Chains A and B, each alone.
Chain A
Amino acid sequence: MATTVTGTKPLRKTGFGGGLKGRGPNGNGSPKRNGHRDAFFEARSAANRYRIGMWVAMASILMLFTALSSAYIVRAASANDWQPLHMPRVLLLSTALIVVSSITLEFARRKLKSGERRAHKSLLVLTTLLGLGFLASQLFAWKDLARQGVYVASNPHSSFFYLLTATHGVHLLGGLAGLGFLTLRSGLKTDDELAATKSQAQTDAVSLYWHFMDILWIYLFFLLFFWRQQ
């Protein structure tokens, strides 16, 4: 290619008919004259990044569970080998634990906003413990089924039970990692405004995820034990 660089000459300010075919100077974005972002702009976008990223990640996780749910519904109807499980009672405890953990996390988030750091931290620790309790309770449910002689390959309902609880549990571990990160972070001093915005955004993102896990579990619980039981 033999084209040479001609560079960009500055446009004349006036005097050519018709003007430029731009979308105008005040298009959605409203450029300012200084060619860089100011500090606030930087912080806002860094903080927003966590929230947007979390919504996007949740869309993807939602698709995974949509796929598994539709497999569940199709498989339940495809043959008459479906034997409904007896619901392990401990699952009620699991459900209670995760619902309460969502509430404590929401309080933790508000405490951070109002600047009560100590309360924030202890609520985070409480939420983490409730999350661990949920996982332990799920393991007890597995043990309960195993005692009944019901394993992953026993029948389609048990296969889906183990699969869905395990997949949810793995995603919940991610949430626990997030909570652990927030707890460690909450010990650090954040005097400057940028860091505070950032840590608020991280807390928002983790709690968004945690509530999502909560609602997801309630949905799975209903799908597994209250949908099409005969």
Chain B
Amino acid sequence: MSVETHEAVHRHEPPTSFIRKYIFSLDHKVIGIQYIILALVAVVVGMTMSVLMRMNLSWPGTNWPILATLFPGGAPGGVINPEFYLSLVTMHGTIMVFFVLTTAPQGGFGNYFLPIQIGAEDMAFPVLNMLSFWVTFVGFIVILAAIFFSGSASTIGPIGGWTGYAPLSALGQIAGPGQGMGMNLWIISIAIFCVGSLLGALNFITTLLNMRTRGMSLMRMPLTCWAWFTTAVLALLSFPVLLGGGILLLLDRLAGTSFFIPGGLYVSGILSGTTPSFPVHTGGSPILWQHLFWFFGHPEVYIAILPGMGATSHILSTFARKPVFGYRAMVFAIFAIGLLGFFVWGHHMFISGMSPYSAMTFSILTLSIGVPSAVKTFNWLGTLWGARIRFTTPMLFAIGFVSLFVAGGITGLVLGQTSLDLPMHDTYFVLAHFHLVMGVASIFGMFAATYFWFPKMFGRFMNDALGKIHFWITFVGVYCIFVPMHVMGLVGMPRRYSQFTEYTFLTRLHPLVVFVSIVAIITVLTQFLFYFNLIWSIFKGKKAGPNPWEATTLEWTTASPPPHDNFAGVLPVVYRGPYEFAVPGAPNDFVMQTEPETETERAGGNGHNGHRH
């Protein structure tokens, strides 16, 4: 058949050398896995830091001999000192936000599945795709360098937090331990990361606009693709602003400019301009940094969570065996969240002295994000309503995502109001809010995605029993960690303090602090079950066919794992929407997107197409 020969021409043969296949690969699937591995390594570093912080908070002053050996400067005699604690806070936040929550959901799963789900053979610019990973990787190496070369023996990085507020971040060594070389490396790492993310976002947007296969109209795309697309748009427009801010900050530090440094500063007992290490500065605006940072920072939290929302919608529909409730509304809600995300950065700065009128505007816009968020939540519940749910591990994590998104998001309505935010700012209430909604919910979305797509990526299932144990301990664990933190915040416990022994009004909270730490350590240890499951299942997991979950989208029409060019030289043709489950009269309870239309449909025999003829 002539079609066969034509297809053979179109086949892309995989590269044969090890380096082109696994290291500098142009295959979006390999690059996706590289991103996921990067996130899996980074998250271990981040979790280790959180355990060290919890140890210090709940058992202050304890001598941990191992710490004395590992960090003779930061924990002299095994007792963690305050600067060391602050550098842990900084590096934990930076590594988690940038190298875990931004890489795995978008760079990892987005890279792997966006082209397959729209029926493309690869990304639009494969070389750019490879570069975006390796640039991100260099960013990670530089942030690790900040740990080892922080310029101070007592810290493992700068002590400015992941927000790196000016002016202390702009002054250099004089502002404290780790604020010298550590801070320089921190800024450079973030700038490199920005470039990597921008290259990735450019690729995602072009791929989605240009590479959809025949019949894959925008409104036939899986919601995952909409989520990745919106995320890419957010990254494209917000990372340049952080990059710009980072350049200004670096110039303040290295070239002696005064973008963010006001005049007449008196720091560490030295007045600006009296020593060579603290040159004279005038007129800079520290608040300017906050504006630039949060203009990026707020979209960034949606960059972290939107892919999780997409995966959750996708997985809920698959295992509820029902179409997503209100597909169109879901698409508009994703866009609305993304759009509003650009106009609410001021709610991070209510205490910066902004005009009450601006604060009110930011507050109203912030609260209005509740509307599309509620649309999404109710549509998820609508999808589950009356369904015969298959409680697989990915389904449990997807339901967990909905639960955590609601639990974490609802306090956003509290913090979005100026009058309530003022007393709660910089307390554990804020900490609990954003960890639940941006950290844990996003990660649950990614756990769901991992368990769901693992059979496609490796041709084998992950172990279900281990997966369910992992789910239940983690699910209960994160609630036990973060619900008490809301209480601590309401009592007035401030963030970023290394210990609370000096504050008598907080001493009665101490048992709660210890409880949180114990649960946190158990939850962290449980994650190694996931790691074990992941590695074990690659080699020993139960074999999976091309469509083990009886799902409908394009990735399930190809082999597991997919061939190098995804569809073995043939591009699929799409005839219908992504979530056609439980279609009345169909022989199976699911209809693949590639299933050609029937005579009845072509004749316009149903209500949907009636108006066409």
Could you say which residues of chain B place their CB within 8 Å of the CB of A7?
A: 547
Could you say which residues of chain B place their CB within 8 Å of the CB of A82?
A: 283
Give the Cβ gap from B167 to chain A, nearest Cβ, in Å.
13
- State whether A19 touches B241 (Cβ < 8 A): no
Q: How far is the CA of A48 from the CA of B208 in the complex (A)?
A: 12
- State whether B237 touches A20 (Cβ < 8 A): no
**B471 close to chain A: CB less than 8 A:** no
Could you say which residues of chain A place their CB within 8 Å of the CB of B198?
A: 60
Give A57-79 as 1s and 0s: 1 = Cβ < 8 Å from B's Cβ atoms. Answer: 10111011011101100110011
Q: How far is the CA of A35 from the CA of B583 in the complex (A)?
A: 25
A35 contact from B257, B393, B573, Cβ within 8 A: B573
Q: How far is the CA of A33 from the CA of B331 in the complex (A)?
A: 29
- State whether B285 touches A14 (Cβ < 8 A): no
Could you say which residues of chain B place their CB within 8 Å of the CB of A167?
A: 247
User: Among residues 17 to 67 in chain A, which have CB atoms less than 8 Å away from a CB atom of chain B?
Assistant: 17-37, 45, 48-49, 52-53, 56-57, 59-61, 63-64, 66-67
**A86 close to chain B: CB less than 8 A:** no
User: With contacts A20-B583, A20-B586 known, is A153 near B598, CB below 8 A?
Assistant: no
Give A1-20 as 1s and 0s: 1 = Cβ < 8 Å from B's Cβ atoms. Answer: 11101111111111011111
B202 contact from A20, A56, A71, Cβ within 8 A: A56
**A114 close to chain B: CB less than 8 A:** no
A37 contact from B241, B571, B598, Cβ within 8 A: B571
Give the residue name and chain of the A residue nearest to B243 (CB). A64
A19 contact from B550, B570, B601, Cβ within 8 A: B601
Could you say which residues of chain A place their CB within 8 Å of the CB of B549?
A: 1, 3
**B215 close to chain A: CB less than 8 A:** yes
The CB with the most chain B CB atoms within 10 A, among A27, A28, A80, is that of A27
**B214 close to chain A: CB less than 8 A:** yes
Could you say which residues of chain A place their CB within 8 Å of the CB of B245?
A: 67, 71
- State whether B597 touches A25 (Cβ < 8 A): yes
User: With contacts A22-B608, A24-B609, A31-B215 known, is A9 near B588, CB below 8 A?
Assistant: yes
Could you say which residues of chain B place their CB within 8 Å of the CB of A70?
A: 291
Interface size on A, residues (CB 8 A): 65
Judged by DSSP, the binding face of B is loop
Give the Cβ gap from B434 to chain A, nearest Cβ, in Å.
24
- State whether A163 touches B247 (Cβ < 8 A): yes
User: With contacts A1-B464, A24-B601 known, is A19 near B217, CB below 8 A?
Assistant: no
**A81 close to chain B: CB less than 8 A:** yes
**B392 close to chain A: CB less than 8 A:** yes
**B502 close to chain A: CB less than 8 A:** no
Could you say which residues of chain A place their CB within 8 Å of the CB of B297?
A: none
Give the residue name and chain of the B residue nearest to A72 (CB). B259
Could you say which residues of chain A place their CB within 8 Å of the CB of B546?
A: 5
**B563 close to chain A: CB less than 8 A:** no
- State whether A152 touches B257 (Cβ < 8 A): yes
Give the Cβ gap from A41 to chain B, nearest Cβ, in Å.
8
B206 contact from A3, A49, A153, Cβ within 8 A: A49
**A122 close to chain B: CB less than 8 A:** no
Give the residue name and chain of the B residue nearest to A153 (CB). B256
User: With contacts A1-B548, A29-B216, A36-B571 known, is A19 near B585, CB below 8 A?
Assistant: yes
Could you say which residues of chain A place their CB within 8 Å of the CB of B238?
A: 63
Could you say which residues of chain A place their CB within 8 Å of the CB of B600?
A: 13-14, 16, 19-20
User: With contacts A32-B214, A60-B201, A60-B236 known, is A153 near B257, CB below 8 A?
Assistant: yes
Q: How far is the CA of A134 from the CA of B285 in the complex (A)?
A: 33
User: Among residues 378 to 425 in chain B, which have CB atoms less than 8 Å away from a CB atom of chain A?
Assistant: 390, 392-393
Give the Cβ gap from A4 to chain B, nearest Cβ, in Å.
8
Give the Cβ gap from A145 to chain B, nearest Cβ, in Å.
14
Which of B2-10, B305-313, B344-352 contacts its partner? B2-10
User: Among residues 165 to 184 in chain B, which have CB atoms less than 8 Å away from a CB atom of chain A?
Assistant: none
- State whether A29 touches B592 (Cβ < 8 A): no
- State whether B206 touches A75 (Cβ < 8 A): no
- State whether A75 touches B612 (Cβ < 8 A): no
**B124 close to chain A: CB less than 8 A:** yes
Give B570-594 as 1s and 0s: 1 = Cβ < 8 Å from A's Cβ atoms. Answer: 1111111100100111111011100
Give the residue name and chain of the A residue nearest to B209 (CB). A52
**A169 close to chain B: CB less than 8 A:** no
Interface residues of chain B, those whose CB is within 8 Å of chain A, are: 3, 6-7, 10, 124-125, 198, 201-203, 205-206, 209-220, 236-241, 243-245, 247-248, 251, 255-259, 262-263, 279, 282-285, 288, 291-292, 295, 323, 390, 392-393, 461, 464, 545-550, 569-577, 580, 583-588, 590-592, 595, 597-602, 604-606, 608-609, 612
User: What are some 13 contacts across the A-B interface (CB < 8 A)?
Assistant: A19-B600, A22-B576, A31-B573, A31-B574, A37-B571, A52-B124, A53-B124, A53-B202, A60-B201, A61-B240, A74-B285, A75-B285, A79-B282
